[in-house]
Amino acid sequence: MALSWALTPIGLDAFAPAIGSAGHKLAASSGSHLDPSQPSPSPTPPPPDGPPPVEDPLLLPDLMTSNPAGLQILSLRTGRVLRFTNVVWNGGEGPLELFGVPDVAAASIRVTQRAYTAGGVVAEWTVGEFIFHPTHEHWHLDGFVVYELWSVDPRGDLDQLMASSGKLSYCLIDTDVVDRASPLRPSARQYYGCGRARQGLSVGWGDTYLSYLDGQSLPLDGVPDGFYALASTANANARLREAKISNNAGMVYLQIYGNRLNVIPQADLAWVRWLTEH
């Protein structure tokens, strides 16, 4: 994986857009995935090549996924679907920062991830492409998240994969504060535009996709009544560099019966095991 390094220390504020106050709730006005008019800062020029620092580690992001919420079953003309809200957030020491770089020869927008050290040294590497999402009407990082519905065996363990979204694209912006106690969390959103120039997630901030948005559902045709687990996994391609990749999934257990469902707290999984055995 090729790296580029800037040897001149710079402050992180040099890469942060000047923004005013922003609400923390996802709405069609600020922080929304429905507003393609949000401004996108111009990308900072790539740093020059140079040797990497020896004793100055990168402050990497740590992507985590909250358990899917807002679950509901809807009967559509195309069949039954399970809809849900998903939140991916950054619990690391540094921001997740993505820049789009036009590749004229390939007619694509190549995406580079940029990370910093405490001393201000910069590193970057290629992680994928920005693609235009026709329904959301803005730019997404390709193959970022996967949604899966699993059946649960009598022990409460995952059994068979019943439905999958495949690898979905995502626009990554700060929409909600998740970790208010983090001393590294900026007080205002630093990433707020779904353009192809710059996207990301600040430390302590999350990106919320509400259940009514396109892509926030799984088909239930052929899925019988029973007990299931709904899992959401961020950085599905494992291309983004982060502090830890083993904590990228969120999961919720549920019981489906007809067009209704019950969400089952993890503390009650023993009850699920008992029900599936009797």
Answer yes or no: is pLDDT of 167 > 80: yes
174-194 tens-digit pLDDT: 999 999 999 999 999 999 989
pLDDT classification of 10: cutoffs 50, 70, 90: very low
pLDDT of 30 over the 50 cut:
no
Residues 57-67 pLDDT 10s: 999 999 999 99
Cα separations (Å) of 272 from 103, 136, 189, 255, 263?
52, 38, 41, 9, 11
- Mean pLDDT over 100-123 rounds to 91
Query: What's the count of helices (H) and strands (E) in the chain, helices before strands?
Result: 1, 17
Residue 267 has a pLDDT of 62
Q: What stretches of the chain adopt beta strand conformation (E)? A: 4-6, 58-59, 63-65, 69-76, 79-90, 96-103, 108-117, 122-133, 138-152, 158-170, 176-177, 198-201, 205-209, 217-219, 226-234, 249-257, 260-264
Whole-model pTM above 0.85? no
Q: What is the predicted pLDDT for the residue at 49? A: 43
